[in-house]
Amino acid sequence: MQVLVRDNNVEQVKCVLRKKKPRKGECSEMQTRSYYENTFEGRVREKAEALRPTRKAARKQAQREGLLPAPKKKILPARPSAAKF
């Protein structure tokens, strides 16, 4: 991936990167590299990341079985219909 830097504006480059690849993990990797992380903190973070999918699957299963309430659906406002001429 290539991003052009204009006038040494690093903040703008960060915004562009966030918009281009928000779900690939590059942003989180940039955040973790921005400060020093002890090995202990790294292990704790990795364990928490490994547990997330398991917890999500258990939560979804409990919702399907009726043990937990289903998440509330977002109600979007109705769009005004376009005038037909």
Q: What is the pLDDT of residues 4-13, one digit of tens each?
A: 778 888 888 8
Q: What is the pLDDT of residue 67?
A: 92
Q: Measure the CA–CA gap between 36 and 33, rounded to whole angstroms.
A: 7
Answer yes or no: are the C-beta atoms of 27 and 17 closer than 8 Å: yes
**Mean pLDDT rounded to a whole number for the chain:** 81
User: For residue 65, what pLDDT is reported?
Assistant: 93
**Looking at residue 85, what is its pLDDT?**
55
Question: Higher model confidence: residue 47 or residue 8?
Answer: 47
Which pLDDT does position 60 carry in this prediction?
93
Q: What whole-number percentage of the chain has pLDDT above 70?
A: 82
Give the Cα separation of 4 and 16 in Å (integer): 10
Residue 65 tokens read as 């079985």
Domain ranges of the chain: 37-64
Residue range 67-83, pLDDT digits in tens: 988 888 888 887 776 65
Measured CA to CA, the distance from residue 43 to residue 38 in angstroms comes to: 9
